[in-house]
Structure 1
Amino acid sequence: MVGVIADNLAVNDGPLTSENAAFLRPSEPNLPIEELRKRYEKDGYLFLKQVLPRADVLEARNQYFSSLQSTGVLKPDTAPVEGIFDPTKSHLEYPGIGAGHVDGNGRPGGDKAARFVDLALDAHYKEWYAEKLCNHPALFEFIAKFSGWGKNTLSLRRRLLRNNIPGSKPIGVHYDQIFLRYGDPTSVTAWVPLGDIKLNGGGLIYLEDGDSIGIEMEQAFFTKAKQAGLSDEEARSAFNSNMMATGLLSETPAQFALEHGRKWLVSAFEAGDVVLHNPHMIHASTINNDPDNVIRLATDLRFCDSSKPYDKRWMNHYTFNDGV
């Protein structure tokens, strides 16, 4: 690669170029399962192409934006499934929800954004999402086989359905075990884009060999807490007190990668793709600079082995200020 990987590919604190970014490695889901496991173990992620039927994913996207159309978020005379933002509006009227956007996982936006936020939250409980998409047999059966958990495979009920309006604040640097504190670090996250996402359209990015850094950070903070005389339970939670108020490691991904001598791994995504990552894999997202004003929509689904300790707080549906 030479120069800029894509026009306007950027994070909060600057552009991503061939100097500080490279591409994710895609994998076909029909590769031998041992090869897929080897890649996941080595990379900390597994970028799977077309695990879910494209039509099913686009139907969920259509349902979501159809339910939000009355708020004026979409460009007039465009189809809901396209998810094209009305460029005459401000993205501040349509805030995203989820980790890293509001201190303490609170309610984003003011009175002007109330209707949009209410509808975005309500989508989490709809059958087309909570039942059909989140429990899609194509993904669930793949996870059960890939993980080796079989009948013990459990889909955690707390899921995040995130919209990312062009120009809005992206997700900061973090790893998932920060938010799954009361369970063993054995869960698998499936990041599912609900629609096509251009390279500069706000997709998820992963830090090269980021899981090793996450593990080191976790161990260092845990050791420090124990040395301070905290109990095991206090030490498990002490890590969070060293985070930003939102539970993030950093709001400056470019600087974070530079400090750790790593590159960010990026990609365009298609409806039907899924990226699996482990609990310590460090990731973030780019700014949505889609030239066609397409709203990035994606969801985080998490799976665990029900025969081992897991964070029971994640068996409740997502709500604001739920303490997670």
Structure 2
Amino acid sequence: MYESNGYVLDESPARLGRLEPTPMSERGDRDALWTRLRRDGYLYLTNHLDPEVVWEFRRYYFAALAAAGVTAPDADPRDGIAGSGSIDRGAYRRILYDEIVPGDEYQALCAAPAIRDFFAWLFEDEVHLHRRKIIRHTVPGEAGIGTATQAHYDLVYLREGSDRVLSMWIPLGDTPIERGGLAYLERSHHRVLADEAAGKLKRPAASITADLPALAEEYDSRWLLADYAAGDVMVHSAHIIHAGLDNTDTEGRMRLSTDIRYQRVSDPIDWRWQEHWRWDDGL
């Protein structure tokens, strides 16, 4: 049973499916990747990053937040086992927003050659990494609206720049479906693109809904899921609808992930995304 914000997804073949990994035969073919991106709205690149780099960053992140009570005291930070006590919210915010987010370790991960060079090759241009990079973890057992990322598409938050920005979502550690990875609404970007062109969707930045089953019915589409492994990444357009699943891991492991955005330097850049992410930045 798969859930998001407490809503149980319809598991019928017409409403639920699997993401299709990008074949290795296409990974070095720029035209094939753009064809796939335009058709599907995403590239599922398995083993794109060195898994050990990913695991070491996961260890760094949870070790840094241990002082705030985020992790179980006797657990290896790499495992990311959730603590059972109360969290020191002041310490959590200070460590996350003042140390981790602007830190060298996080920047090195997000601008690693396997990422920056890939986007430069794909765009055939110099590229820009938006400084506002979001990193978050989810705790097993939390349910209800607000516990998982609601259905949305990224352009609503990036309207002051180019719509040709690409997002990369990176699971930081193994993220099987039950640990709450991202789900994508199959080929929803085609309808979003048409509605954007018709001026129907220019509204204040907001998620669409927490009710993923109802949205799949509205779009007559499927939510696509995957068991992500450390080293996998998702590259997706600014128009495809996606959402997070609830973390139902029975061993207490937290889901950790980051989403970052790259674009051509020559395209307009949303000025609001050029400061480090904070909980109160209004975006």
Match of 2:203 among 225, 228, 239: 239
- 2:67–2:91 CA contact under 8 A, matched in 1: no
Question: 1:139: Cα distance to partner?
Answer: 1.0
* 2:22 maps to amino acid: S
- 1:44–1:278 CA contact under 8 A, matched in 2: yes
Question: 1:223: Cα distance to partner?
Answer: 5.5
Moved over 6 A (4+): none
Q: Which of 279-288 and 35-44 deviates more?
A: 35-44
Match of 1:26 among 21, 28, 33: 21
* 1:116 maps to amino acid: Y
How far apart, in 1, do the equivalents of 2:89 and 2:179 lie? Answer: 23
Match of 2:9 among 6, 15, 34: 15
Question: 1:127: Cα distance to partner?
Answer: 0.9
How far apart, in 2, do the equivalents of 1:23 and 1:148 lie? Answer: 30
Query: In the alignment, which residue of structure 2 is the partner of 1:255?
Result: 214
Query: In the alignment, which residue of structure 1 is the partner of 2:229?
Result: 270
Q: CA RMSD in A?
A: 1.8
How far apart, in 1, do the equivalents of 2:152 and 2:215 lie? Answer: 11
- 2:172–2:258 CA contact under 8 A, matched in 1: yes
* 2:101 maps to amino acid: H
Unaligned runs of 5+ in 1: 1-7, 95-111, 225-237
- 1:28–1:49 CA contact under 8 A, matched in 2: no
Q: Secondary structure at the match of 2:214?
A: helix
Question: 1:70: Cα distance to partner?
Answer: 1.5
TM-score between the two structures when normalised by the length of structure 2: 0.91
Q: Which of 23-32 and 271-280 deviates more?
A: 23-32
Unaligned runs of 5+ in 2: none
Q: Which of 34-43 and 183-192 deviates more?
A: 34-43
- Distance of aligned partners of 1:113 and 1:270 in 2 relative to their CA distance in 1, 3 Å threshold: same
* 2:20 maps to amino acid: R
1:52 equivalenced with 2:49 (yes/no): yes
Query: In the alignment, which residue of structure 1 is the partner of 2:141?
Result: 167
CA distances 1:264-284 after superposition (whole Å, capped 9, x unpaired):
000011111110001111100
How many equivalent residue pairs? 274
- 2:63–2:77 CA contact under 8 A, matched in 1: yes
Q: Secondary structure at the match of 1:190?
A: strand
How far apart, in 2, do the equivalents of 1:67 and 1:18 lie? Answer: 42
1:52-131 alignment to 2 at 5 Å? Answer: 52-86=49-83, 88-89=84-85, 113-122=89-98, 123-130=100-107
Query: In the alignment, which residue of structure 2 is the partner of 1:182?
Result: 160
How far apart, in 2, do the equivalents of 1:36 and 1:18 lie? Answer: 29
- 2:188–2:219 CA contact under 8 A, matched in 1: no
Q: Secondary structure at the match of 1:75?
A: coil
- Distance of aligned partners of 1:213 and 1:118 in 2 relative to their CA distance in 1, 3 Å threshold: farther
Match of 1:41 among 38, 43, 48: 38
CA distances 1:220-264 after superposition (whole Å, capped 9, x unpaired):
4x258xxxxxxxxxxxxx511xx6xxx101111111111110110
CA distances 1:91-144 after superposition (whole Å, capped 9, x unpaired):
xx56xxxxxxxxxxxxxxxxx5222233222310111102x1011011111111
CA distances 1:32-76 after superposition (whole Å, capped 9, x unpaired):
332222211110000001111111111111110000112222223
Query: In the alignment, which residue of structure 2 is the partner of 1:100?
Result: none
- 1:10–1:16 CA contact under 8 A, matched in 2: no
* 1:129 maps to amino acid: Y
1:212-231 alignment to 2 at 5 Å? Answer: 212-220=190-198, 222=199
How far apart, in 2, do the equivalents of 1:128 and 1:145 lie? Answer: 24
- 1:11–1:254 CA contact under 8 A, matched in 2: no
- Distance of aligned partners of 1:66 and 1:223 in 2 relative to their CA distance in 1, 3 Å threshold: closer
Q: Which of 117-126 and 207-216 deviates more?
A: 117-126
Question: 1:154: Cα distance to partner?
Answer: 0.9
